[in-house]
A = this chain, B = another copy of it.
Amino acid sequence: MGKEKLESLINVSVTPARDERFREVIAKRQQITVILENVHDPHNIGAVIRSCDAIGISEVFILYTEESHNFLKQKVGKNTSSGARKWVKAHYFGEIETCFDAVRSKYNKIYGTHLSDQSRSLYELDLTEPAALMFGNEQNGISDRALSLLDGNFIIPQYGMVQSLNISVACAVSLFEASRQRAAKEMYSVGFDQHNPAHTEMYNGFVQKHFEYIHKKEK
């Protein structure tokens, strides 16, 4: 879409209140992300995206190394993300290496939820640095290939009879811990900066999504 067309759309569709809300939310977006590897259930993906939006994550990386999973692309989070899907960009990858390269270009560390000798507790991770948290397939967890490329594994300490959490719950607990750490360091106290290319890029993306949505409703 050309700049001129985009600007004309802004004038048509974004009220001052909406504009203000966009800037407020964008200013609080954090340098933290999620990678999902071969996660089957669209409800899980939707719930993950909702948690992402809630703590200020602007993009997620969705990795399908199994051909058969690609069909999910159309369905992702349509119902269970309650609209959060519009405000969190999903990047799709079919190869681990390409996905990790893209993630590493913006985030310093990639941690995966996996139990091993070297696993650390979630609460020992420094989640105030730019980091990606990876969650694996519902049955098999993170693949060996991905494990070999991670910067570390972590677990959520549990004390019950049943030793597993649903992926959307595990992800929410991890992300809100990151959010707690970041709030304690006042990382949500930044204002919108129109000279910050990341902010303006997100703003343009929000406006476009907003317009697409209105356009779809009008049809």
Contact = CB atoms under 8 A, between A and B. Distances in A.
A197 interface: no
Given A173-B173, A180-B123, A28 B159 contact: yes
A168 interface: yes
Number of copies: 2
Nearest to A24: B159
B156 A86 contact: no
A19 to B, nearest CB: 13
A55 B159 contact: yes
Interface residues of A, number: 41
Interface string A156-194: 111111111110110011001101100110001000000
A54 B165 contact: yes
Contact of A160 (B25, B160, B169, B177): B25
A87 B161 CA distance: 7
Contact of A123 (B81, B86, B165, B183): B183
Q: Which of A50, A176, A188 has the most CB of B within 10 A?
A: A176
